[in-house]
Structure 1
Amino acid sequence: KAAFVHDGNVVVKYALESIAETGTYKMRHGRGREQKLTEADVRHIKILNTRDRRKTISDLHAEMNASRSESERVSRMTISRRLLEQGSKGRIAAKKPLLRPANIQKCLRFARESADLSSVYVILGDTGLQYI
């Protein structure tokens, strides 16, 4: 049989065993390497990421592996891939400028120069100041 199919004896043996067990020659589910992270681990990574979006992958990596044994450690790239699969793009929000006194004065000066105060009417009523 193996000479006719031009494959080794192992392939034919596997095919015959598969047909004997399942009745068909289909790939059996569950073969291959198991994933390192469970679904709970992936949810935990996502929660850690959404709590502080400024954390880097290295910070998340250190936090994940702090409570794991040496054999259960997860690589930085695995965490990165799982976050990408969950839809986290890994962008960090732009930082606000420092609010030093000089910067506050610059912001106020810019607001006064660029604001057109001629169209603002102040109405005093029961509710207090209202700007239209």
Structure 2
Amino acid sequence: MNGLSQRIVDFIAELMPLYTFQFADGHDCALSLVDGTLLMPVDESSSDRDEGWVVVLWQGDAQRRSEVPGPLMAYQAALRCAEFHGVGRLPAEVAAHRHILITRLREICGDLLHIEMATRF
């Protein structure tokens, strides 16, 4: 699977040490090392548009399954990763790391303006 959903899951899995890669149910997934939540790509090949939805198995429990917009999940994960790596660093360094991660995410997902506007205070 090479669609947007898989690229988003791969991006999240690279956000070490908060996430790692996990192979599950025949898919390359992202596993949260914080709480065991598993993020799986959605096959959107039969859809007109590749929207990047992601399956979330909360704490790895298949009974607690949700489908969420992948760009929103990846944006949140990138911010959390920048905060994690920013402990003890200057705010400018945290902002620079956040900018790098969000720029990479934009290259994968395209425009994130709607997410950025929704997450402003």
Bin of the TM-score, shorter chain as denominator length? under 0.3
Higher strand proportion (structure 1 or 2): 2
More helix by share: 1
TM (normalized to structure 2)? 0.24
